[in-house]
Amino acid sequence: MKFDDRIPIYYQIKQYFYQQIITQQLQPGDKLPGVRQLAVDLTVNVNTIQRALQELITEGVLFSKRGLGNFVTTDHDTIKQLKHRVVSGQVAWYYHQLEKLGLSPASMQQALADYIEEENHDPKS
């Protein structure tokens, strides 16, 4: 897995699991791969995996059964809140970054619209 070397890896791994859960690629009650396997898959050390998982467990997003594995919470409300928290966080971050750069709300929306337009220049032919 590719990491942004300006941000701690364990933090990026947390974001990765957020994504997996929010997009339902990991569903409530699902068992995660073993920590040693995750370490191989994400090309990091077991301790780094562990640090990320530990925080997710503290947040109630995952739970651990010693000797069995780590699992996604079965509390649908927690997952709903997680999704809201993560998405809202991204939007707020975007808004305030562009605000600092002097853009008006209308300009922000226009900039996004323009970017989406570009992304759609059919990659066929």
Partner DNA sequence: GTTAGTGTCATAGCTTTCTATTACACTATA
Partner DNA sequence: TATAGTGTAATAGAAAGCTATGACACTAAC
Q: Which parts of this chain interact with DNA (CB under 7 A)?
A: 5-6, 8-11, 32, 34-37, 43-48, 50-51, 53-54, 57, 64-70
Integer CA distances (angstroms), 20 to 52, 110, 117, in order: 14, 30, 27
Check binding of 1 to its own copies (CB under 8 A). Answer: no
| Minimum distance of its own copies from residue 69's CB (angstroms) | 25
From DNA, its own copies, none, interface partner of 113 (C-beta below 5 to 8 A by class):
its own copies
- Burial state string for 3-21 with b = 16 or more CB within 10 A and e = fewer than 16: eeeeeebbebbbeebbeeb
Check binding of 65 to its own copies (CB under 8 A). Answer: no
Q: Which of 1, 3, 7, 63 binds its own copies (CB under 8 A)?
A: 7
Q: Which stretch binds its own copies (CB under 8 A): 11-19, 27-35, 39-47, 53-61?
A: 11-19
Whether 28 contacts 72, CB under 8 Å: yes
Q: How far apart are CA 90 and CA 112, in angstroms?
A: 14
Check binding of 87 to its own copies (CB under 8 A). Answer: yes
DSSP for 29-59, written as a single string = TPBPPPHHHHHHHTTS-HHHHHHHHHHHHHT
Binding residues for its own copies, per CB under 8 A? 6-8, 11, 18-19, 22-23, 83, 86-88, 90-95, 97-98, 100-103, 105, 108-109, 111-116, 119
